[in-house]
Chain A
């Protein structure tokens, strides 16, 4: 049972334009969401996170939006740069009772930013 879904395996965007990566989840107990970026042969690198008490969090070129009623979140990258080309993973955590912060990951979206 895939609790975190990234339905677009890949996305291609022109440099300078907006990249929008989407993520859906099924577990209503998830209350903390993160985006990671991963280059080949490296571990995931943390990008940005959002708590369920918010609907938007912004950090530089990266903005994450959370729609709890739709169980959907998205990552916007503006403007996109060639160095942003990587696999992006959405992850979610259910922190009930101050628990593990165990992350459940989606399958990833490969972003290619064309110069």
Chain B
């Protein structure tokens, strides 16, 4: 079972910031928070991951609370092409062993024009 809880759907106006929340209250010390998204009819796409510090890349920012029990993915200026299902996943980051991803049902983000 997925270890995360996300809202089923969210709307965002084009050009505004999209803030996608995720609860992971049972996260353990060696587990990272990963975000992927899946645009309709495509495979999932990696966005960003982090352990406890906030992270930023060219796609998004990831804010993790101090107790690590929740996080927020921020798309700073949402466009219509950001409409997708966004998955929040927690998993250990270690080498050699299975690095499977356990997906929940994610959040459907609909960016409105």
Are chains A and B native binding partners rather than an unrelated pairing? Answer: no
